[in-house]
Amino acid sequence: MATVFDFTLADKKGNEVSLSQYEGKVLLIVNTATGCGFTPQYEALEAMYHRLKDQGLEILDVPCNQFGHQTPGTDEEITEFCQVKFGTDFPQFKKSDVNGANELPLFAWLKSQKGFEGAYEEKLAKIMEDLYNKANPEPRKKDDIQWNFTKFLVNRKGEVVARFEPTADMADVEKAVKAEL
């Protein structure tokens, strides 16, 4: 059976990084954006990272521009924005697709482990769907990432134990992280 440790992600320079280097850690894998209404979650993520990294938490940040083109700029510009505005120092990877023909294999696997269970009010869901469809030629599948700042919680064994949609309360996310630590 596959685990998260069987995958790689490209760093900002395009070098493949094996996630096996995180074996024994609790991971929170997040697709992010720098110009989204959820972007302030970087602050909560960074605060959680500082509180819990010594207990074994790693946050893996994968910027994505598929949702309303809310992640413009180069990988270097994205990193600079996050560090200057939010002081982030958790690992940030290359801007990548998380849905569709060019989705990262890691995200295909994450979604297969924890699919979308619904979490948006109908009006917000319609707005987000329209924005997504305008920017992406392929229709979204049921378990696809719905928007920026979807979070997957992975236990120390490399198994996905939870998926949090962007509207999830960050206190609930941290509570689940602590339970895995």
Structure tokens at 127: 């707005």
> What would the two tokens of residue 60 be?
């893996």
Please name which of 15, 57, 3 lies closest in space to residue 180, comparing C-alpha atoms: 57
Distance CA 42, CA 73 (A): 17
Nearest to 66 by CA among 112, 17, 102: 102
Residue pair 135/148 in contact (Cβ under 8 Å)? The answer is no
Whole-number Å distance between alpha carbons of 114 and 163? 6
- Determine whether 36 is an active site residue: yes
Question: Of 4, 28, 29, 36, which is the active-site residue?
Answer: 36
> Which active-site residues does the annotation give?
36
